[in-house]
Amino acid sequence: MAHTIINLGQGFWNIRGALRIGGLIDVGTHCSLVQLTKDRFIFLDSYELSGSVREQVMTLTHQGQTVEAILNLHPFHTLHCEAMARDFPQATLYGSLRHQQKLPQLAWSPDRVESEAVAARYPELEFSLTKGIDYISAKPGVHAGSLLAYHPASKSLHVDDTFAAPPQGGLLEKFLPEIFISPATRWALKPEANAAETYCQWVQQLADQWQDTQNFCAAHSDLVQFKAGEFKPALLAALERARPKLQTTQ
């Protein structure tokens, strides 16, 4: 996937980047830049900026000086944290416990990214932590848990791994639904009798709470844009497709 920055309006930019598995297959990744006020910006997740995308970001943020924080939402997305901390040294660095343990050399805020304290600092965004599944799975390859962020002003949802979409314009787009639940979710369920139902209720709540979503920004896939009223049924349909496997795992 090419390095691109997409202006979704109302002070929200989604940055699409590359992530190659084994140096060959590009599964893509992303981060988002959010403008809070004229001279206040934050990043959602980390990505090493380069080329014209870096130039555009630096122009928007007065050479990075108005970036006040980097919120690393997914505990297993750590590859680009050092680069972002280097490029924006004045920004407060928020992350999960895994970020702090994986990269102890960085100056992490003691407030975890998923904490109420961090959410209270950014009322321009709404946050939701996955329920019924582990945020930080003990299984290294299971990355379904994450902290989701919604920007009401631009109707943009930033999500890592929990929900996904097929790459636009590719062969997979013809065979996969427009959005789907992470296949790893069944392995991320907490060892509780009602974990699957807790997860399903959480998704249903999100579908209702964030039903105005028009820009679905997902890592390892693509940006999907919905018309008014389309997101809620799409997410609920994705849940119904996933529900049988979740329930048989219990």
Q: Which two tokens stand for residue 59?
A: 């122009």
Only one residue has tokens 């972002």, namely 84
Query: How would residue 179 be classed by pLDDT, with cut points 50, 70 and 90?
Result: very high
CA separation for the pair 140, 20 (Å, rounded): 18
Residue pLDDT, tens place only, 16-34: 866 555 455 545 578 999 9
**Amino acid identity for residue 18 in this structure:** A
What average pLDDT is seen over the chain?
90
- 155-180 mean pLDDT: 75
Q: Which two tokens stand for residue 183?
A: 């296949």
Q: What is the pTM of this model?
A: 0.92
Only one residue has tokens 């631009």, namely 154
Q: Does 103 score more than 70 pLDDT?
A: yes
Residue pLDDT, tens place only, 185-230: 999 999 999 999 999 999 999 999 999 999 999 987 678 999 999 9
* pLDDT in the model for residue 171: 46
Query: How would residue 1 be classed by pLDDT, with cut points 50, 70 and 90?
Result: very low
**Amino acid identity for residue 225 in this structure:** Q
Only one residue has tokens 């497709």, namely 241
**Per-residue DSSP letters for 229-244?**
T-HHHHHHHHHHHHHH
The answer to whether 233 touches 169, Cβ cutoff 8 Å, is no
Instruction: Decide: helix, strand or coil at residue 109.
Output: coil
> In sequence order, what are the residues at sequence separation of 6 or more whose Cβ sits closer than 8 angstroms to the Cβ of residue 249?
186, 187, 189, 196
Residue pLDDT, tens place only, 134-143: 999 998 889 8
- 109-113 mean pLDDT: 98
Residue pLDDT, tens place only, 46-101: 999 999 999 999 999 999 999 999 999 999 989 889 999 999 999 999 999 999 99
DSSP character at residue 213? -
